[in-house]
Chain A
Amino acid sequence: MRTAEARGAHLTPEEILGCVFPEGEGAVPVPLHLATCPPCQVRVTRLRDAHLIDKGAVAGAVEALPEVFWNAQAAAVMQAVHEEPANNVRPFPASLRQTIVRRPVLAFGSLAAALLLMTGLSFLRPSQRQQVAEVPVPTPVASATNAHDDELLLAIDDALAEELPFSNMYPEGV
């Protein structure tokens, strides 16, 4: 793009804005035309004035706020912060929340798989319960056998009590 100087005309709006709001860093080269053209100087000065007024107005408005305002603001923040820990209990740990946000497909896929598994298990369980119910419970047959054994043990005890010790070990006729 040809500059105003090259064209021998006044500064373009772009060049005026460039003088007041340079895009780059550091010192901005001033167009030579500006030094010799009072109308262009006025245009640049007006925009610069407007910017400085605006900037000063913003800074002044903030500086003019009383200390009470800042104290009240800090107090409001602290009140909210004190109420925060009780409400800050989250159902899931941060790592899980991050996983859900960063890899939603993986997270919700895993959730869907887990739900499917649980649903499958819940369908399987009732049939297993029926199978268990159908298994015959062993009858308490041991009670009769136990009585018979008790009688036998008592008879042995009686026989042992009546016999002398080692008497049956002696030879006949001794």
Chain B
Amino acid sequence: MKGDVKTPAEQQTSRERDHEVVLKVQAGDVEAFEALVKSHQKRIFRLVYTLLRDATEADCVTQDVFIKAFKALKDFKGEAAFESWITRITINTVRDRVRRRKPVVSFSEMGNADDDDTGGLPRHLDPADGTSPERDAMSRDIRRRLTDALASLSPRQRAVFVMKHYEEKTIPEIGTETGLDEGTIKSHLFRAGRKLRALLEDLR
């Protein structure tokens, strides 16, 4: 995920480009919206997929996010970067989706029918490959428990935790993208950590 990290100059250019496209769409150029979709769809899909662990649902939610963004774009004033704004829409959409689909299905139950347990990933792409079978088995077991523990977090705790430890965002960045203040983010991280600790207490 760090491979996607842009330099400040790249971020600035990207923001300016987004802003220009947003102005075009606001002026009535609907086709210009495709540029925004193309430029952000992978990032949005990855965030949704990390939170939901279901490729089909992640695809649905990603489309939903862009349609919501298009509808709301006329009210977008450009005070925040488009990237942050659409991430916030994403977090809210995922949260609504998770609330609606209760009872919570654990991530490990959402894997492939053959119990591949790589989140729909072909085996040759699994980073666990190439190590000893014992370590593989151990890592897979701990990973399953970790993903189940993540699934037990509240949508907001999960979003904050994933943004910090999977997307590698800083707390101020998480604040911009979720609209939460620093104290609330730290509180969510603390509570998430406490829940994970309880679920992984017997880790040996």
Interface residues of A (CB under 8 A from B): 13-14, 16-18, 21, 23, 25, 43, 46-47, 49-62, 64-65, 69-70, 73-74, 76-78, 80-82, 84-85, 88, 94
Chain B min CB distance to A88 (Å): 7
Chain A min CB distance to B77 (Å): 13
Q: Which of B16-24, B83-91, B189-197 contacts A (4 or more CB under 8 A)?
A: B189-197
The residue in chain A whose Cβ has the minimal distance to the Cβ of B190 is A23
Contact in complex: B127, A81 (CB < 8 Å): no
Q: Give B54-89 as 1s and 0s: 1 = Cβ < 8 Å from A's Cβ atoms.
A: 010001001100110011000100000000000000
Q: In the complex, how many residue pairs between chain A and chain B have their CB atoms under 8 Å apart?
A: 135
Interface size of B in residues (CB-CB distance below 8 Å): 57
Residues of A within 8 Å of B1, CB to CB, are 55, 59
Known: A58-B49, A73-B41, A81-B66. 19 other contacts (CB 8 A): A23-B186, A23-B193, A43-B203, A51-B165, A56-B127, A57-B127, A58-B119, A58-B166, A59-B1, A61-B49, A61-B55, A64-B122, A76-B63, A77-B37, A77-B67, A78-B34, A84-B70, A84-B71, A94-B75
Residues of A within 8 Å of B120, CB to CB, are 61
Residues of A within 8 Å of B156, CB to CB, are none
The B130-164 residues at the A interface (CB cut-off 8 A) are 135, 138-140, 142-143, 145-147, 161, 164
Q: A73-B41, A85-B30 are in contact. Are A53 and B127 (CB under 8 A)?
A: yes
Chain A min CB distance to B139 (Å): 5
Interface secondary structure of B, over-half rule: helix
Q: Give 22 pairs: A residue, B residue, CB < 8 Å, sorted on A.
A: A14-B193, A17-B200, A23-B190, A47-B200, A47-B203, A53-B127, A54-B119, A54-B143, A57-B118, A57-B119, A57-B121, A60-B126, A61-B55, A61-B120, A62-B46, A73-B37, A73-B63, A78-B37, A81-B70, A82-B30, A84-B67, A84-B71
